[in-house]
Amino acid sequence: MAFNTKPKKPLSSSHSSLCTTLFFVVLFTIPALFLLHTPTTTSICTTFAASHHAKPWSGNLLSAQFAWNRLRFDEQIPPPIALKIAVFSRKWPTGTTPGGMERHAYTLHTALSRRGHQVHVFTSPQEGDENAKTGPVGLDEKESRNSPSSSPRIHSHEGDPGRWRYNKAWEQFLEENQRQPFDVVHSESVALPHWLARNLENLAVSWHGIALESLQSDIVQDLTRHPGEPMSPAFNRSVQGVIPKVLNEIRFFKSYAHHVAISDSCGEMLRDMYQIPIKRVHVILNGVDEDDFAVDSALGHELRSRIGVPKNASVVFGVAGRLVKDKGHPLLYEAFSTLMTKHPDVYLVVAGSGPWQSRYKDMGPNVLVLGSMSPSELRAFYNAIDIFVNPTLRPQGLDLTLMEAMMSGKPVLASRYPSIKGTIVVDDEFGYMFAPNVESLLEAMEMVVEEGSTRLAKRGKACRQYASSMFTARKMALAYERLFLCIKNNTFCSYT
């Protein structure tokens, strides 16, 4: 009662002081924690990447603290049992340019279906669905319908297209589970809320970004402000709100039986900061379809000629994805504007759409904007460039575009975050890294121009070799399959 009778002014001052203190604790402590994590992860990754004579690993898979993609699973051997798998995904891709999480879900569960597993996807209604429908539909709807046994069955709940209603999806799940119980339940991030998930011992959730990573993202984006530019009120609200969110996540994440981190650094955070027991955290990197992304020089040369890249271009940079601020396009826009003034024979090819599309178009003939592209069109894009640029300001998750570029035999120029440094650019030969600011990006781009396209092509071969061993859809699917088998029966947890 005494607390409630205190004057409001001191309370406000105390609250402000607390927020300020928390802010600076976050500002200096969180980046330090990320840096502390980085050397260990990089060391592990570099060991696996650089040495072909690493000591073979054996033991309980649940104790492995490195990415399962590094282990050998023979795709020629069929699974010992066919699993019935439930998947909760907010959206399921139906267009040509789905988001990264949707593409991951489609690639993974289509691959598992083709391995003979019965996959049921519980998702929101798709565009054009007047009534909820169940069936094997996806990116290539015609192919799926012709081969229903090798495609996931889609359970779209009723409601507006694209609007996720977990309670409706849960009802569908319970109905299907009554017919024949599911062996494993897989949730893409928090598609399945923790208060429903906590009763499922056979559940695994894949995290494509957690609040602790979002906090670093907020800080990085605010640091891009120009001198004299005021701090955004939205940033203040975001920072004050994200700390309770992190604490809340730490508490409720334990409700999920198994956690799949999509990067080595995320796995460390879940074990160390979120205090999830080691045997419940598993690192499985995302993968891309190796049939869609491969080296095809002729296709690349054809696209260059068609879009107007001159034969005497010294270096062709490329960027793909959503053209929005948090993907780092303000940095790339400013850095490349300076670079092409000094080097008029460099070019930038932009594949994607968004608010920054018109600004890129106004930069002149050295910037070629292609708009959104389907996976088949992206194959030509990657083969047409010399190096792929990913200037993202969002440390959370792991962009599939980096994997696609490396699978296409291209080196990368990427923001220096633990997730990227510890999982993607694990060797200096794979490309260049920069601090997420204009000066550092420009410096790295100058180094690229200095090396030239011949050296970049050599780097690209090393990227292709590493990506083929780590980032394929088959590797990802086999790792998830083994995890799901392990969840079903712990005899499958033993690896020799």
**Rounded-to-integer distance, Cα 47 and Cα 42, Å:** 8
Count of residues making up the chain: 496
CA dihedral (254, 260, 265, 268) in degrees, to 10, reads: 40
pLDDT value at residue 95: 53
Superfamily of domain 297-471: Glycogen Phosphorylase B; (3.40.50.2000)
Q: Which pTM was predicted?
A: 0.82
Domain ranges of the chain: 59-128+148-287+474-495, 297-471
Report the mean per-residue pLDDT for the chain: 85
* Distant-in-sequence, close-in-space partners of 96: CB < 8 Å, separation ≥ 6: 139, 372, 373, 374, 375
Distances (CA, A) of 190 to 90, 207, 252, 334, 439: 9, 8, 11, 36, 37
Q: Quick check: do 59-128+148-287+474-495 and 297-471 share a fold?
A: yes
Residue closest to 329 by CA, chosen among 310, 309, 348, 345: 348
- Give the three-state DSSP class for 382: helix
For the chain, residues with pLDDT lower than 70 are 1-55, 94-100, 128-149
CA-angle at 191, arms to 327 and 68, nearest 5°:
75
pLDDT value at residue 33: 44
Whether domain 59-128+148-287+474-495 has CATH 3.60.20.10: the reply is: no
CA dihedral (301, 319, 353, 304) in degrees, to 10, reads: -10
Model confidence pLDDT, tens digit, residues 231-271: 777 777 777 777 888 888 899 999 999 999 999 999 999 99
**Rounded-to-integer distance, Cα 409 and Cα 407, Å:** 5
**Rounded-to-integer distance, Cα 290 and Cα 287, Å:** 9
Residue closest to 62 by CA, chosen among 274, 256, 258, 269: 258
Model confidence pLDDT, tens digit, residues 135-168: 544 444 434 433 445 789 999 999 999 899 999 9
